[in-house]
Structure 1
Amino acid sequence: MQFADFTLWKYLASIVDIVLVWYVIYKLINVIRGTKAVQLLKGILVILLVRVVSEWLGLITLSWMMQQAINWGFLAVIIIFQPELRRALEQLGRGRFFSSSRTQDDDNQEKTVEAIVKATDYMAKRRIGALISIERETGMSDYIETGIQLNSNISSELLINIFIPNTPLHDGAVIIQRNIVSAAACYLPLSESPFISKELGTRHRAALGISEVTDSVTVVVSEETGNISLTKNGELHRDLKLEELKEILTSDMVIHNKAKQASSARWNWRGKNNG
């Protein structure tokens, strides 16, 4: 009887162990989601795949090279993923690592949209030039580092004050990351497209440039005309009305996020039923 109880306890411990490991991995994926670490993880998977295939095909030299990459990869991962690891440890210290915040994320995104629309309306009426880029899935940490880091809660008043002419932060882009104003006065890559109208200035070229290398959504207010434009997926949408701007931002941020959450919830529900 004691032997049977011991065996049952081992099975239960194994199940708990697997569930906890799965949950930690899931949370770590959430931490690095939206950063360039995702692309690096894909590269690591490619190396592992090449290692297995080269071993199977008997490619000795290639197999040895991949093995060396794996042997030294642990140190490389620590160095490359240092910002993400630090953020995960900070969340763990604040007790947020194991908490769920889907509803809070939805509320924050709606507030972010409202703040951007309100600030854009104010600046467009007064012809105050502005450049606001919103991070989505692709990380923008490289561009955040070019500016002045703020890490401030978003509000229309903050956005307006940043872009007031002749202030220290007005020249450059504001980058919004996870519903936080991460940095201001950031440099964005300029688009080299020959099809951009010559009447458009540096702000529009920068907005189009960042949309060509990331999946970000960028709002532009023209200093000359006060017109509102938006770029995403390498496309420039010009002369938007305020209602159109709000509709696009809501669709790309709030509705898109809710659809992802609903899809994830359906997947989890089906998985439980199948199990």
Structure 2
Amino acid sequence: MPFWEKIVNLSPVATFINIMDVLLVWFVVYQLIKVVKGTKAVQLLKGIFVIIIARIVTEVFGLATLGWMMERVIDWGFLAIIIIFQPELRRALEQLGRGRLFARTMMDEEQERKRLIEALSKSVNYMAKRRIGALISIEKETGLNEYIETGTPLNSDLTSELLINIFIPNAPLHDGAVVVQRNRIAAAGCYLPLSESPFISKELGTRHRAAVGLSEVSDAITIVVSEETGAISIATDGDLNRGLSIEEFEIRLRHLWFGATTNQENTSKWKWGVKRNG
């Protein structure tokens, strides 16, 4: 077993170098996947995978003509990739020259988080001032597909303008909840389970009961804007935090959604039926 003998006879330094080599290759591949994620290059990778599978099948079953075609595709495929994705490749090389290829993903994630918080904050603030009722649930670890299926699929970017238009009174989708999944609006007009807790204040309506009900069966974050008072609430883990100012809302949402903490975060928990600021 010469292969295993070589591994056993490797020195600790050589073993460490080989392990680091493999880890670095995986890191580079992982970062490249994150760079192309969400771009049209993903479809290219799927196409390449199909071609490779087809080439293997032709070898197994001895399909000479199809095998010859796959060989020609593979031979010219690299050149075709360079021509088709010349803008993307040039952009990646420019970022590599500036040392931004791998730093870009973290920066993009932070910018996306900031954009999402701003979009939700802007829409909630707008609706609260005008007493437009709203119910928005954000999926975390527990899947919400069973509730998404009860609504109208949207699969659209999360923007404040779209959220506001959904909840405008008498709009087709204003009844029910908007469900946010993987930073996108998955569906609107969704039905959420109502909480049967006897401790919920009688003054709270269906939106608040639905928010608490979903928080009892999942780890989702549910935002409620009261149609009667314009009060902003957040429901998580069976608790309903009511009467939040827009600043408190932003801080708490950032903490619950992304785990970010700040020195300003001093928002206390307000249980069902407890009312803040009158």
User: What TM-score does the superposition give when structure 2 sets the normalisation length?
Assistant: 0.58
Shift of 1:184: 0.5
Shift of 1:141: 1.5
Determine if the alignment matches structure 1 residue 93 to structure 2 residue 31.
no
The number of equivalent residue pairs is 191
1:1-275 to structure 2, matched below 5 A, reads 92-93=42-43, 101-256=105-260
**1: distance between equivalents of 2:179 and 2:105?**
22
Shift of 1:3: 9.6
* Aligned counterpart, 1:45: none
Shift of 1:101: 4.0
SS of equivalent to 1:181: strand
% identical aligned pairs: 54
RMSD, matched Cα: 4.0
Consecutive unaligned residues of structure 1, counting only runs of 5 or more, are: 31-86, 258-275
Shift of 1:253: 2.3
Contact 1:148/1:186, CA 8 A, preserved across alignment: yes
Shift of 1:108: 1.5
Contact 1:208/1:232, CA 8 A, preserved across alignment: yes
User: What TM-score does the superposition give when structure 1 sets the normalisation length?
Assistant: 0.59
**1: distance between equivalents of 2:203 and 2:114?**
33
Contact 2:195/2:213, CA 8 A, preserved across alignment: yes
Shift of 1:92: 4.9
Shift of 1:145: 1.2
**Structure 1 residues 93, 246: CA separation in 2 closer, same or farther (over 3 Å shift)?**
same
**Structure 1 residues 115, 196: CA separation in 2 closer, same or farther (over 3 Å shift)?**
same
Shift of 1:158: 0.5
**1: distance between equivalents of 2:136 and 2:45?**
31
**2: distance between equivalents of 1:256 and 1:245?**
13
SS of equivalent to 1:239: strand
SS of equivalent to 1:165: coil
More helix by share: 1
Shift of 1:129: 0.4
Consecutive unaligned residues of structure 2, counting only runs of 5 or more, are: 47-101, 262-278
Letter in 2 for 1:248: R
**2: distance between equivalents of 1:105 and 1:114?**
14
SS of equivalent to 1:251: helix
**Structure 1 residues 3, 192: CA separation in 2 closer, same or farther (over 3 Å shift)?**
closer
Q: Which has the larger radius of gyration?
A: 2
**1: distance between equivalents of 2:106 and 2:153?**
26
Shift of 1:163: 0.1
**2: distance between equivalents of 1:160 and 1:124?**
11
Q: Deviations over 1:134-174 (max 9, x none)?
A: 11121111111111111111111110000001111100000
Contact 1:106/1:254, CA 8 A, preserved across alignment: no
